[in-house]
Structure 1
């Protein structure tokens, strides 16, 4: 790719990013929401465990001197990374102080750092592996996340991430649409946006694909309770304010019942898995 064509691609990517930015949550609200959820998070984190385990299995064979758990949350996967790479130095980084405070006594990483994925407080070329499971969907500027990954990775280093894309929680979204047409479900990027951002990042794409994960619940309340316990309830701009009336809740329940399966009420998560590599120095 010529310098001119690369600039054109980056300009288009930045414009698309700007078009979508207003639809994504404010990172201060994200940090506050997940900090409040720190104590309850692990008790309801079935999806997070499944997705992170899948991402771990997709990592190439690598023995890093230093790894970074980006969006480390309660530290569950920091501890898995420490077990997989016992001789490596681990860094757990999260924007939510409450999550770091919860994770630190449980161990796993050597360092616990409060930081933003779009502006990492790390030196250039300081890690060989970046692992990020279900965190970067909350970043409004994913191009900056990738630029930071390219900056802090050493040549030959790997960035493995799992995120969410359009189609996630479509059952809940469509049920609310039938009730009042307002924004009740978090919005996520389209797969095509992830593809464009990754292609323009300067990192080599080893793999990038979508795998749906479907969970089942006995009733709507169980699903909404879990989303709140995870800190992943609706924090989008345009969400309705105030309490939700009983009549609207009953209408939501009736609409969602139309999706019921033998296992219960389904909640679909469209998970994007990406494994990127920084080109080796020539």
Structure 2
């Protein structure tokens, strides 16, 4: 791991390109490594409405949830949208038993979808990567039918606090993605025009046997390779390992997410 990219995230001007590149690189291993993301997605799945016919899986990744949504709604058609072409290449190779799923490479803030063309948006851990929250939620409102629903999992401040602690270096404080607060999401949803906004906060916690396991789980969502590109020495790695070991619990090394679940109705 000597010289590996530091897993700290920023939002430079070319952020969308970096995110797309990072997730494309992570695509092949995403499903295997992103166990925590799957668990959090199940919590969102439980909130699905009984019926839906025009469905968007926003930030669909390799298509896991898109396929399940097509099976869940036999009368519906599903569009899986992602910024990362590499993710969509994996999704397209996955057998589609329903024949009702299509794929779209696009930015969530500028979606090539018609006004009022959807009745359900499902998005598991994608919009935290978007630089312009107001624009993303405005696009969701624009594309949803009146009475349509958006179910969104995203992340709030304090996410990956253990990771930030471990990777801090003298004179170089850790800088993770600028996770937005619950109030910021509520304000953006109201500004977009949603008439009903419900946001639930929770703290799912996962454990890994060692630092390599922690870093693999982050790499599985593109977080490591989307970093700011600074390089680490062996001493940095040893320090991070020691700092993380001080946080060890009986179940292993902890990784805490601050999960925000948004239920929006247009």
Partner of 1:265: 253
Q: Deviations over 1:134-160 (max 9, x none)?
A: 000000101111110111101111011
Which of 50, 55, 74 is the equivalent residue of 2:44?
55
Structure 1 position 24, deviation (Å): 9.0
Partner of 2:35: 46
Partner of 2:64: 76
Which of 4, 13, 19 is the equivalent residue of 1:30?
19
Structure 2: gaps of 5 or more residues: 1-9
Runs of 4+ in 1 over 6 A off after TM superposition: none
Measured in 2, the distance between the counterparts of 1:129 and 1:254 equals: 46
Checking the alignment, whether the CA contact within 8 Å between 1:68 and 1:90 is kept in structure 2 is: yes
Q: Deviations over 1:171-212 (max 9, x none)?
A: 111222355533353331122211221222210234202111
Partner of 1:225: 216
Aligned length: 254
Partner of 1:96: 84
Structure 1 position 42, deviation (Å): 0.4
Structure 1 position 235, deviation (Å): 2.8
Checking the alignment, whether the CA contact within 8 Å between 1:172 and 1:267 is kept in structure 2 is: yes
Measured in 2, the distance between the counterparts of 1:135 and 1:25 equals: 17
Measured in 2, the distance between the counterparts of 1:191 and 1:24 equals: 25
Structure 1 position 234, deviation (Å): 5.8
Which of 86, 89, 101 is the equivalent residue of 2:74?
86
Partner of 1:66: 54
TM-score, normalising length: structure 1: 0.84
Which of 220, 224, 236 is the equivalent residue of 1:248?
236
Checking the alignment, whether the CA contact within 8 Å between 1:178 and 1:255 is kept in structure 2 is: no
RCO higher in 1 or 2 (8 Å CA, sep ≥ 6)?
2
Partner of 1:163: 154
Instruction: Let me know the Cα RMSD of the aligned residues.
Output: 1.9
Indicate the structure with greater helix content: 1
Measured in 2, the distance between the counterparts of 1:167 and 1:201 equals: 26
Structure 1: gaps of 5 or more residues: 1-20
Checking the alignment, whether the CA contact within 8 Å between 1:165 and 1:189 is kept in structure 2 is: yes
